[in-house]
Amino acid sequence: MAREKVVKRGPQPDAGEQKPLPAADEPAIKSLRPRRLAEYIGQTQVVGNLAVALQAAKQRGEPLDHVLLHGPPGLGKTTLSHIIATEMETTMVATSGPMLEKPKDLMGILTNLEAGQVLFIDEIHRIPHTVEEFLYSAMEDFQVDFVLDRGAFAKTIKIPLKRFTLVGATTRAGLLTAPLRDRFGILLHLDFYTAEELTEVVARSADILDIPIEPDGAFEIARRSRGTPRIANRLLRRVRDYAQVHGRGVITRDIARLALEREGIDERGLDALDRRYLATIDELYAGGPVGIEALAATLNEETDTLEDIIEPYLLKEGYVIRTASGRKTPQARADQPRLFSVG
């Protein structure tokens, strides 16, 4: 089986002399990642489209077109990038938008890429504009223009690059500039998983980690994981601890319920911050509408945290509504009590 290595790179004192750093992934988390597309559960449309593009590129003996993966955090964007590298029988170099502070940070990485290699840029919407401009010709023409000297002696030299595949990941496709977005040939949107898909993910992870689990136990964890494999895998470990200490080591439905309650995850799968967010709109702002800045200030959270992490699932499940004048909770019927309370 083709194995794929990862090199993480960020700003270097001298980009020309940078050395590969070892992968910084936690081994336990990494081992749960599917390595091949055939092992990947859910996201059937994304997987289907990617499978066609991978097969076609391999048949032509070409690198894959640049890929943009967008969707909420924890749904498998990094995992898919690893899989792309493995399926293309190549290696992956990983960096992120905020790590690319200066053009030379990107230049150092681009000029060291090997033919066909995958460059993964996480949070690609956070690349500074001055750096992003260098990506355009790198993606389109596989070359970068480097300006030598200043003033009257200024000279531009074109540095050719090997043909590579850029895989960009973002939670906010809307924040990408049009010139950058237009240079991706393959656009893939990841959506929340169903409880049934997550049950499969939990069962697979339990199998890898040698955790005894009953089907009802797996479903109970899955349905309370906000449609997100990263959360499901985290909760699986917490429930395992609880089963070991308070049970017979087997994850049953009852053990899962008790353990998740202790973790602050309620019947609907909402955590403490979700509930605080909803209760604030409901009680302090009388159901809204309330602006995101006011909400973030009241909750003492960043607006980005609310927009990227909290809101997508609550919006999808209809717990909150976004309107032009702000966030609202759905109108409570006169005969129904409000669902959330502060404190």
What are the residues binding ligand ADE (CB under 6 A)?
Answer: 32, 34, 39-42, 76, 79, 201, 204, 229
Nearest distance from C-beta of residue 7 to ligand ADE, angstroms: 22
Nearest distance from C-beta of residue 267 to ligand ADE, angstroms: 24
Nearest distance from C-beta of residue 139 to ligand ADE, angstroms: 27
**Could you confirm whether 223 is annotated as catalytic?**
no
Nearest CA-CA partner of 256 in 210, 228, 215, 227: 215
Which residue, 70 or 327, is less far from ligand ADE as judged by CB?
A: 70
Q: Where are the beta strands (DSSP E) in the chain?
A: 6-8, 67-70, 92-96, 118-122, 143-148, 155-160, 165-170, 186-189, 321-323, 326-328
Which residue, 71 or 229, is less far from ligand ADE as judged by CB?
A: 229
Nearest distance from C-beta of residue 46 to ligand ADE, angstroms: 10
Q: Are 107 and 134 in contact (CB under 8 A)?
A: yes
Cα 334 to Cα 72: distance, rounded to the nearest angstrom: 34
Which one from 33, 91, 122, 276 is the annotated catalytic residue? 122
Nearest distance from C-beta of residue 278 to ligand ADE, angstroms: 27
Cis peptide before 22 (omega within 30 of 0): no
Which residue, 91 or 233, is less far from ligand ADE as judged by CB?
A: 233
Q: Are 279 and 288 in contact (CB under 8 A)?
A: no
Q: Are 156 and 56 in contact (CB under 8 A)?
A: no
Cis peptide before 289 (omega within 30 of 0): yes
Q: Are 141 and 188 in contact (CB under 8 A)?
A: no
Which residue, 139 or 203, is less far from ligand ADE as judged by CB?
A: 203
Q: Which amino acid is at 31?
A: S
* Sign for the pseudo-dihedral over CA of 123, 302, 23, 54: negative
DSSP-assigned letter for residue 281: I
**Could you confirm whether 156 is annotated as catalytic?**
no
Cα 195 to Cα 191: distance, rounded to the nearest angstrom: 13
**Could you confirm whether 126 is annotated as catalytic?**
no
**Could you confirm whether 230 is annotated as catalytic?**
yes
Which residue, 42 or 72, is less far from ligand ADE as judged by CB?
A: 42
Which one from 79, 86, 91, 171 is the annotated catalytic residue? 171
**Could you confirm whether 36 is annotated as catalytic?**
no
Which residue, 204 or 322, is less far from ligand ADE as judged by CB?
A: 204
Which one from 77, 181, 183, 226 is the annotated catalytic residue? 77
- Which tokens go with 158? 């074109």
Nearest distance from C-beta of residue 39 to ligand ADE, angstroms: 6
Nearest CA-CA partner of 67 in 139, 133, 6: 139
Just list the catalytic residues. Answer: 77-78, 122, 171, 230
